[in-house]
Every structure is written in C-alpha cells, then in structure tokens.
Amino acid sequence: MMKTNENPTLWEESVQPGYYKKLDKDIQTEVLVIGGGISGITTAYNLQKAGKKVTLIEQATIGSGQTARTTAHLTYCLDIRYFQLIKQLGVQNVRTVANSHMASIEWMDRIIRHERINCNFKRISGYLFSIHSAEMVQKEYRAMQDLGIIAEMINYVPGLKEKQSQACICFPEQAQFHALKYLKGLTNAALNMGVHIYNHTAAGSIQENTAKANGYTITAEYIVITANTALNTPELNISQTKFRSYVIGIKIPKGQLPYSLWWEVEDSGNEKEFAPYHYARLENFDDLNDLFIVGGEDREIEGTTPDENLKFGRLLEWASQRFAIKGKPEYQWSGTISYSNDGLPFIGRYRYNNHYIISGDSGSGINYATIGSRIITDSICGVENNWEAVYSPGRIVYEPK
C-alpha cells in the first residue's frame, strides 16, 4: 500500500499541472502572493483584475497542496454549526459569515461562466442529517432561521437507504466542481491578465517588503501569504489545530444516486468541540459511472498516528450502511485541515500593514479562498469590505505594526 498522503486523488489523475519556470533572478512586483493553491490563485486573479501587478510563487507546482486533496463541496453548510458560532460571535456577525459564503458560491458560478472554465460545476442540493442526534439538527435549523438563511427541514434524505434519518436540513442551490479543473481555468485566466507565476520557488525569509526565494530577492509593496499555514507567524500557528481528514472514492453506475451533497453529523456531547461527521458527493467518472466520494473520520494530527487503512475501512462501512452501494474504493486519500480556536479562518492584515494572510480555513476553504481574496483585494485597493472585521487575524492575536 502506498503512503496515503501520496496517493493520487481523482482531481490529480485527471488534470495535468501547469509548468512554470523557477525564479532565477531578483525581481520587483507590486503584490507578491506566496502559495499556488486555490487561495493564492483566486487572490492573484482578483488583484490583477483590480489593476495591480501580481507575482505568485509556489514552492512545488500549482495546485499541489490541499486544494488537490479536497472534496470541493461549495456550500454554506459549514464545518462548525451556526448555533455554536452565534454563541461566540452573536447573530449579526454570524449573518455576515453566512452572507460571505453565499456570495462566494455566486461569485465562483459567475467567474466560471465569465472565464468559460470547464470544471464540471453543478448546482445541487445539500443535506445535513443525523441518525442519532436529531435534536442537534433541529437546533441548527432554528439558528439558521434566526439568521435568515435559506433552508428547509425535510423528513427524508434523498439517496439514503430506507428511512434512516430522523432529521434533515435541505440546503438548496449549493454547488460542486472538479477542484483542479477550476484551479487550472482560473490560473489560465490570471496568466492571460498578466500575473507572473513561478513554480519550485519557496519563500524563505519574509520581511516587510521583501521575500527570499531560490537565493534571490523579491521586492514587493504588498505580500499576501496563502501558504495554507501561518508562515513566519508563530502566533497564528499556536491558535490553530490541524486535523487529517480521510477520503475514499467508489465507482457506482450513473443514475444510482442523485447528484447531491451529504453530511451526517453526530453530537460530540460537548458544544465546544467539533462534532464528528461524514460527508459525501458524486463526481463524473466515465460515460457509465460516477465516483461516490466519501470523507470524514477526521482526527487531530498531533499525538497518535492513526491506522490509515482502518480509517478507509470505516469510511467504506459508513458508506455501505447509509447508501445502497457495493464495491471496493478506486481512490483513497487524505489531507490536512486547519481550524482556528473559534472556527473562523484568519483572513486579512497581520504583522505589517502591507502583509496579508489566508489561514486556518477549515473544511470550508474553497469558499474561504474566494472570501479571502475579495477581502484582501478590497483592502489593498482601499475599498471598504463588510466581511473584513469578522475574519480579521487581529481578533485573536495582535494588531499589525
């Protein structure tokens, strides 16, 4: 068996990475973006579109980080429950969070059409359900009503075997796409607008207006770190916990399950803890089959080393208990998800007034790439942004210099 983290994902197997040269001289740019995942590429795209001159550097190849290991549910059904967020942040702030997620799905939908990105984008419904914790789902629905979020309580779960679920919230008009096809399309659009991209160029020492990479110096007015980790910022690393999430993909005949997003939640018994859960969706596999993608079994990375095969086995068991599926997984992979203490990412200025970060973006990082890119683009362009305050890194750590 290959080491899990090196197992190719469906996305990696169906898209060739773009080849860009290494940095081989000192350069100057208006904005330096560090990290070529969905956060970095979306930020580079938006900033260049807003008239800035952007250079993006990636330590390996574009899309080789956690964006390649995602399951790409595009949804405002968050990893952390709304009723928990309301307790911490109040209704008004959580309304802002929900609005930012709804707007990010709309934005991706528009950009995919505008840039003609062929990435299997689909608008579909999502179902948050529970077999054992109906009360929790009902509580979540009440919180969503208080927030004015569009959703409906239903008494069955489309696609599920028999009538297992006790409670289910239907989220209409959610979405999904092929993560790396989207990333490649957006990268090409950014390149066409004039963004400079370097592969195999890792940022080392990052100062107020410079970063070192491959022994050369990049001088920039603004530096945006989208490395999916708090580079150069130990304070932010301390405020984050890293989890590993496991995924399997099982081939099923087309039409057997409806294209949908599914999440099963359980009550952790402690409102402050992230409740364990499983998630699923479909993706086109070939003319006759879909791939049923199932994820979950998340565990904190520090401490014990879990048996990965056991995790994949449990995912298969969950999938066959809940859905009428048979067969062995075609794919098995895992990836890292970072959570901040309050469940929201760190997006915005940190350390210096001209430095920005997107980090701690939980299992909703595809949306946060768009949300973060828009906050940072507005801030650099001097435009007010209503989402900025709620995600500011300053809420937890410190004020920028």
Ligand X SMILES: Cc1cc2nc3c(=O)[nH]c(=O)nc-3n(C[C@H](O)[C@H](O)[C@H](O)COP(=O)(O)OP(=O)(O)OC[C@H]3O[C@@H](n4cnc5c(N)ncnc54)[C@H](O)[C@@H]3O)c2cc1C
- Which residues of the chain form contacts with ligand X (CB under 6 A)? 34-40, 57-60, 64-67, 69-73, 202-203, 226-228, 231, 245, 247, 295, 335-337, 358, 361, 363-367, 369
Whether the CB-CB separation of 15 and 194 falls below 8 Å is answered with no
Instruction: Report the run of H or E that residue 278 belongs to, with start and end.
Output: strand 277-284
Backbone dihedral angles phi then psi of residue 367, each to the nearest 5 degrees: -65, -40
187 within 8 A of 20, measured Cβ to Cβ: no
At residue 338, the 3 state secondary structure works out as strand
Alpha-carbon distance of 71 to 401, in angstroms, equals 37
Residue 317's nearest CA partner among 246, 398, 238 is 246
CB atoms within 10 A of CB 231: 19
Beta-carbon contacts of 22 under 8 Å, excluding residues fewer than 6 positions away, are 198, 199, 200, 201, 214
Beta carbon of residue 163, minimum distance to ligand X (angstroms, whole number)? 26
Give just the sign of the alpha carbon dihedral 116, 119, 120, 121: negative
Helices (H), 149-287: 179-193, 234-238
Q: Which is nearer to ligand X, 367 or 392 (CB)?
A: 367
**DSSP annotation of 393:** G
Number of neighbouring beta carbons within 10 Å of residue 259: 15
- With 0-12 / 13-18 / 19 or more C-beta atoms within 10 angstroms meaning exposed / middle / buried, residue 1 is exposed
In the complex with ligand X, which residue's Cβ is closer, 102 or 134?
A: 102
Q: For ligand X, which is the closer residue by CB, 40 or 159?
A: 40
Nearest distance from C-beta of residue 19 to ligand X, angstroms = 15
C-alpha triplet 121, 112, 47: angle, nearest 5°: 135
Q: Provide the minimum distance between the beta carbon of 287 and ligand X in the complex, in angstroms, as a whole number.
A: 25
Closer CB to ligand X, 110 or 142, in the complex: 110
Rounded to the nearest angstrom, the gap between the alpha carbon of residue 353 and the centroid of all alpha carbons in its chain is 26
Which residue's CB is nearer to ligand X, number 364 or number 377? 364
Judged by beta carbon, residue 159 or residue 372, the one nearer ligand X is 372
- Closest separation in Å from C-beta 131 to ligand X: 21
Nearer to ligand X, 58 or 283 (CB): 58
Residue whose Cβ sits closest to ligand X: 365
Output the smallest distance, CB 8 to ligand X, in A: 14
- When the beta carbons of 14 and 255 are compared against ligand X, the nearer one is 14
Residue 246 to residue 256: CA distance in whole angstroms: 24
Least separation in angstroms between residue 319's CB and ligand X is 15
CB of 102 to ligand X, least distance (A): 13
Q: Give min distance, CB of 50 to ligand X, in A.
A: 19
Q: Whole-angstrom Cα distance, residue 198 to residue 200? A: 7
Measured from the CB atom, the residue of 34 and 344 that comes closer to ligand X is 34
* Minimum gap (Å) between residue 284 Cβ and ligand X: 17
